[in-house]
Structure 1
Amino acid sequence: MRKLKDAITKENAAKVTFGLCAAFSIFAVFAIIVFVLYRSIPAFREVGVFNFIFGTGWKPTWEDKAWNGEYKFSDIFGVAPMIVTSFAVTGGSVLFGGLLGVFTAVFMAFYCPKNLQNVPVLKKIPVLNKLPLKGIFEQIINLLASIPSIIIGFFGLVVIVPLVRDILPPHQTGTGVLSAIIVLSIMIMPTIASLAKNSLEAASKEYYEGSLGLGNTKDQTVFRVMLPAAKSGVLSAIILGVGRAVGETIAVYFVIGGTPGNFPETLYTPVASLTTTIVLEMGYASPGSIHESALIATGFVLLVFVLLINLALNVIKRDKAGGNKLFGGKIGKHRAAEKVYVYKQRGASQKVLKYISIVLSLFIAFVLTFLVLFICVKGIPHLNLHFLFGESRNGDETLLPAFVSTGLIIFMTLLIALPLGIGAAIFLNEYSKKGSRFVKTVRLFIDTLAGVPSIVFGLFGMIFFCNICGLGYSLWAGSFTMVLIVLPTVIRSTEESLREVPDSMREGSLALGSSKVRTIFKIVLPSALRGIVTSVILSIGRIVGESAALIYTAGSSIRMPSGYGGAGSTFAVMMYRFQVEGLAMEKMYATAVVLLAIVVILDLLVTLVQKKFARKANGEERDAKTSRALRKDTKRNAVAAKLAAAASENE
């Protein structure tokens, strides 16, 4: 009886622990909102909420004059120009990047050949015939999605801005809304393409086969049937792209011009968005001043916009009905009889859309190839052992401190985020009841936490960890902030793998007398190892490429960190510092090459891990081993038969 009570106590304790891990996301979101709002109150009180949001002036150098009564704070701090700029840049990038992403998704799902065997020119080249073209193209899109924003922003600074400057009227810098739109389009396109492709492939194959069976061409089926059927997923992908675009900081900072008070009157007017204003001025805002509070309030306004975007995304997720007016109506909607019996060739517009998707997809592949080759050609000649591993001093900065700082932050972040994320995933998948309000709330807040911009995480980390907790600029503060950033990734990836574990494995373990906790740790988690390993690799990639959140928490010291209590710079922050302080351009190229190499390695690791566990799940490894053993036995038997025949002949 006592053992039974102990077992029940352990089960209840485990359930409560996993429930607290799941509820952590709720606490985190509320903490971010509360503390950022708390530090925004002085600005809202002095300026007024209405004047702050709709005011058109931004002159922080006049703050002392406002205290003396010469000016009103409402004339000094107004974010209306930044809001308009953020909407203009986001709208343009989503329009351009969204179209690229959707057409690329259509190409990957329906038109990209698996190999080159069907290309007449290449039929006589066996090596090319065996190339998995579709897999390579998907890997290219995944790689583009993994490239840190600071590299894309740097590419925009050294390639796109000069290109725009050459086509603009004289005396223009090339920075502004147009350059920012191009850079953000490159950033959000792969995210939209990957998610939209998954939605297209998840659409029922009966729609596809039924449409072809009714006499429609493949192009008509793709654009008038399959795309409307995947409407919900495509719109969700576009809204996620909106969230990423409106919250992007460093990439836009490099190319937008950096003038907070300007409205985007033209595409080449130097301006500033909500995020870039914070980066531009937080460094010289006096602690505790209205200027600092106004910058934090700017982050709060940004946070409100992102929360509204997440709310819209959740509303769309609930609507699973296929089709809309844009793509030609709902599936199954009755068409007028006279249209059915009009016998003429149709589908010309869909054929045009097909070729547009092919051309745009090839253009995206070219852009990525050019970006990678450009960075490598410019950066590899400047790589040497001293720059990578030499002692870093003023005037002779090296990447050794970045290696150490990045490694320390990765270790501490994963040490905290993995138990929290795995525990939350276990609760959501193993203990949750269908239709539970608590589970729905947890999922909503996990999605919300995933959509919070990096700069807002940085502001929260600066307020809470650096100031309130007294950690200052330190690797502790940076690690704790990164825990909040990577936690949704760990939860989602682990939960997805837990869902794939067959219920028969759980039932078999429970039938043998194992407790639920023992079943989870001994049977379920080992079977879900793919998702855990994938989340670790993705989290490392996010930490390596993060800059905005770490600038205000871990600092930007070029010296070797003294430990977790000291400041330090990761690779992305080091690259940001090289640009801000006007240090040698060749060091920026070299650092970009190192970052790019790390990203490529991590991306390949994710692919290999997924393929490895997929083969294991399908039993291919077991079948391969069996076939190899059979082949060896066959060869051995053949050799033995030959030897026996030779011996009989000799006799």
Structure 2
Amino acid sequence: MEHIANVKELNQSSARDKAARAVFTASAFFSVVAVAGIVFFIMLESLPAFSEIGVLNFIFGTTWAPTKDFLPVSERFGILPMIVGSLVVTAGATLVGGTMGVFTAVFLAYFCPKRLKAVFNQVINLLAGIPSIVYGYFGLVVLVPLLAEVSPTNSGQGALAGSLILGIMILPTVASIVRNSIESVPEAYFEGALALGCSREQAVFKAVLPAAKSGTVTGVIMGIGRAVGETMAVMMVAGNTPQFIEGPFTSIRTLTVNIVMDMNYAEGLHLQALIATGFVLLVLVLLLNALIAAINRRKKPLDKKTALKPRDGGGQSGAAPVFKSTGALCRGLKYAAVVVACIVALCLVFLIGFVFVKGVGHISFDLLFGESGNDKMTLRPAFVSTGMLIALALVVALPIGVATAVYLAEYSKRGSRAVKTVRLFVDTLASIPSIVFGLFGALVFGGLMGMDYSLLAGGLTLALIILPTIIRATEESILAVPDSLREAGLALGAGKARTIFKVVLPAAMSGIVTSIILSIGRIVGESAALIYTAGAVPYTPSGYLDQGSSFAVMMWMFAGEGMYVDSAYATACILMIFVALLNLLVTLCERKFRKKQGIAK
């Protein structure tokens, strides 16, 4: 009887393992379905515009005048000025943010004093977490007036303002990725360069940084992806005129801004043309992702055996090593890295200080919790709407994200085609611009599923946006769990599924909590995707089928009205406090996780 009971228990365990594996596998390929669905629906809704206007007329047309009915259709919907505007602003942002990001990464990796390293890491994290609407408003009230002083047109809005704001926004992305790439270079490269007579600066800029070239290029390209897809910040500082650029102060309009500017009143062919604009933007992002994937495929792993491999004739016996007598250029690059890092820190201090000085005095109980309506807007609807959006998005995305991470870390064969496919689509989902998510949510959740403008449509759209964040953070946390814990669970007779749920996931809980905190930060700062899914109203919602406005959307409404400038500053101040608290929580979770890792080892 005991033997029969053991057999039954083994069969039940095997059935549970198979069921768990099926669930994890299905969850893993959800990201593939999501990306395919976004591309399919956006393309499907774009086809009527492409058919009526003509693909070439649409892409290479030079006039955007949807309301001028006296013009032929082929001459009213040209997006070439917006494509050029997007490319110009992105190029400028890359020049500013990409360069400063690389120098900041080098400073953090090699030249930052140990006592200041943690502080500078928090600076980068805070810059990365600040919502784009705050950057845009800061640019509108500070940067644009400063540029107006030197502008020949007496207007500070234009390509230069957009490039500078976007450059600051993409800097944290570039700095984080490049720093990780630099720190992954084997120490033998640095030590070998020193042994050959190089100075510290020469070792960093002549040996380590070239070895991290692929990661540096990837970081810059990911920064470009962020710049191409940005909407709200650019809309507030670029001027938004659909024309070709003639100088740094020319008012221009980007692809993302074109969608936001016209979406409220567009219908018929005009609406279809805006969706087609979104499809062109999506294609640009997919091409950037393909470029990153190609770079990663070409990237060769670095090891000590290949470190500082001698050049032609360098390994001949008796050949005397050749040293350069001066390292002035590398010393100059070092000082440039230090100066750039100081500028980055000062930018953050000035941004936070300005927002707090302007906003903290206007935070009141009435602004936070007073009745809100058309005649008087308060943040009461934002508290309710944001809470409801966070709850719904996490309920949908967290199980799928954790299950996908478990599949990638525990069930799949590392390096297999299935894993590469899932990772590619997860990365693609992470790089899709918010405005494209908003278009997809409006078309599918709001239109096809009949949810209209509602918190339900907004919450489901946000679930897609935060899904890659949860997958990445959870997978890294699971991979860091020592194999000895898994082996101990299996040795005690637990099946694979039971070991995962009882041993692995509890050990990786800090990473899961971190992914939740990061996701909440993304939700609180999101605006572009919510305006056309959840709505933008000053009323408190009573359920998920009502419209609602998050904090970022409310700030956009405050800034747009013109009569609520003080409330906009106060909202920006609240958002900054929230970002700082989230960063503190993430830091505490990471420390706790490292402490657990040390105990486990």
Q: TM-score, normalised by structure 1?
A: 0.88
- Note closer, same or farther for the CA distance 1:615–1:139 as it changes in structure 2 (3 Å cut): same
2:459 aligned with 1:453:
no
The 1:19/1:484 distance shift into structure 2, 3 A limit, reads: same
Counterpart residue identity of residue 460, structure 1: F
1:462-516 deviation per Cα after TM superposition (whole angstroms, max 9, x unaligned)? 0000011000110000000000000000001000011011111111111111011
2-side partners of 1:38 and 1:587: how far apart?
A: 41
Using the alignment, how far apart are the partners of 1:137 and 1:512 within structure 2? 45
Matched residue, 1:348: 328
Please name the residue that 2:250 is paired with. Answer: 269
Cα gap change, 1:450 to 1:340, in 2 (>3 Å): farther
Alignment equivalent of 1:249, drawn from 231, 254, 260: 231
Aligned to 2:4: none
Name the CA shift for 1:11/1:321 in 2 (closer, same or farther; >3 Å).
closer
1:148 to 112, 126, 131: 131
What residue in structure 2 maps to residue 493 of structure 1?
473
2:312, 2:523 → 1: CA distance? 52
2:122 to 139, 146, 165: 139
* Alpha-carbon distance between aligned partners in 2 of 1:308 and 1:173, rounded to the nearest angstrom: 35
Aligned match for 2:140, one of 150, 154, 157: 157
Structure 2: which amino acid aligns with 1:139?
A: Q
Q: Which residue of 2 aligns with 1:193?
A: 175
The equivalent position to 1:609 in structure 2, one of 589, 594, 598, is 589
C-alpha displacement at 1:341, in angstroms?
5.3
CA distance in 1, matches of 2:321, 2:481: 50
Kindly state the Cα deviation for residue 71 of structure 1 after the two structures are TM-superposed. 2.8
Equivalent AA in structure 2 for residue 92 of structure 1: G
For the residues of structure 2 that align with 1:436 and 1:586, how far apart are their CA atoms? 55
Contact 1:175 1:255 in 2 (8 A): yes
The separation in 1 between residues aligned to 2:133 and 2:312, in whole angstroms, is: 50
Give the stretch that moved more between structures: 607-616 or 48-57.
607-616
2:299 to 307, 311, 320: 320
User: Aligned-pair distance for 1:395?
Assistant: 2.3
SS of aligned partner of 1:489? helix
Question: In 2, distance between residues paired with 1:383 and 1:447?
Answer: 39
1:625 maps to: none
In 2 relative to 1, CA 202–344 (structure 1 residues): closer, same or farther, beyond 3 Å?
closer
Unaligned runs of 5+ in 1: 116-132, 324-328, 623-651
Say whether residues 1:239 and 2:218 are aligned partners.
Answer: no
Query: CA separation of 1:333/1:87 partners in 2, compared to 1, >3 Å: closer, same or farther?
Result: farther
The offset of 1:393, in angstroms, is 2.1
2:163 corresponds to? 181
Matched, 1:81 2:81: yes
Cα offset, 1:565, TM superposition? 0.7
1:333 Cα deviation from its structure 2 partner: 5.2
Report matched runs for 1:197-216 at 5 Å: 197-216=179-198
Deviations 1:598-626 (A, max 9, x none): 11100111011111221232139x9xxxx
Larger CA Rg, structure 1 vs 2: 1
Secondary structure in structure 2 of the residue aligned to 1:61: coil
Aligned residues: 589
| Shift in Å, 1:564 | 0.5
Amino acid at match of 1:153: G
Q: Kindly state the Cα deviation for residue 26 of structure 1 after the two structures are TM-superposed.
A: 0.5
- Note the alpha carbon deviations across 1:103-142, whole angstroms, 9 max, x for none: 0111111001113xxxxxxxxxxxxxxxxx1111111111
The one-character-per-residue Cα deviations of 1:611-651 (angstroms, maximum 9, x if unpaired) are: 1221232139x9xxxxxxxxxxxxxxxxxxxxxxxxxxxxx
* Residue 336 (structure 1) shift: 6.5
Distance 2:416 2:598 in 1: 33
User: Within 5 A, what are the aligned runs for 1:97-496?
Assistant: 97-115=97-115, 133-169=116-152, 171-260=153-242, 262-286=243-267, 289-321=268-300, 331-332=308-309, 334=311, 345-496=325-476
Q: Is the contact between residue 18 and residue 426 of structure 1 (CA under 8 Å) also seen in structure 2?
A: yes
Q: Note the aligned Cα RMSD (angstroms).
A: 1.8
1:433/1:341 CA distance change after superposition, 3 Å: closer
Q: Deviations over 1:121-170 (max 9, x none)?
A: xxxxxxxxxxxx1111111111111111110111110111111111111x
The equivalent of 2:32 in structure 1 is 26
Mapped partners of 1:435, 1:112: distance in 2: 36
Does 2:66 match 1:60?
yes
Q: Which moved more, 1:480-489 or 1:390-399?
A: 390-399
Amino acid at match of 1:594: I
Contact 1:172 1:268 in 2 (8 A): no
- Answer yes or no: is the 8 Å Cα contact 2:481–2:597 preserved in 1: no
| Structure 2 CA distance for partners of 1:366 and 1:16, relative to 1, 3 Å | same
Which of 16, 20, 45 is equivalent to 2:22?
16
- What is the letter of the counterpart of residue 318 of structure 1? R
1:540-587 CA-to-partner distances (Å, cap 9, x unmatched) read: 000000000000000011100121110000000011112223232111
Which sections of structure 2, spanning at least 5 residues, go unmatched? 1-6
Q: SS at the partner of 1:465?
A: helix
Q: CA deviation at 1:3?
A: 3.9
Report the residue type matching 1:275 in the other structure: T
Return the offset for 1:340. Answer: 6.4
Residues 374-419 of structure 1 show CA distances to partners (whole Å, capped at 9, x for unaligned) of 0000001111100011111222111011000000000111111110
Aligned match of 2:564: 584
Instruction: For residues 218-242 of structure 1, give each alpha carbon's deviation from its aligned partner in whole angstroms, at most 9, with x where no partner exists.
Output: 0000000010111111111111101
**Conservation of the 8 A alpha-carbon contact between 2:41 and 2:440:** yes
Q: How far is 1:433 from its partner? A: 1.4
**Distance (Å, rounded) in 2 between the aligned partners of 1:343 and 1:4:** 69
Percent of aligned positions that are identical: 52
8 A contact 1:232–1:321 mirrored in 2? no
Q: Could you say what secondary structure the match of 1:60 adopts? A: coil
- Give me the whole-angstrom Cα distance separating, in 2, the residues matched to 1:84 and 1:582: 30
Report if the CA contact (8 A) 2:38-2:440 is conserved: yes
Q: CA deviation at 1:9?
A: 2.2
Q: Distance in 2 between matches of 1:344 and 1:95?
A: 30
Using the alignment, how far apart are the partners of 1:343 and 1:372 within structure 2?
47
Separation (CA, whole Å) in 1 of partners of 2:286 and 2:172: 23
Match of 2:516 among 530, 536, 542: 536
Letter in 2 for 1:77: F
Tell me if structure 1 keeps the 8 A contact 2:511–2:593. no
Cα distance in 2 for partners of 1:318, 1:306 equals 18
Deviation at 1:193, TM superposition (A): 0.7
Q: Choose from 38, 41, 46 the match for 2:47.
A: 41
Residue identity in the other structure for 1:554: A
* Kept in 2: contact 1:88–1:177 (CA 8 A): yes
Tell me, what secondary structure is at the counterpart of 1:284?
coil
Which amino acid counterpart does residue 148 of structure 1 have in structure 2? P
In 2, the alpha carbon distance for the partners of 1:597 and 1:543 equals: 15
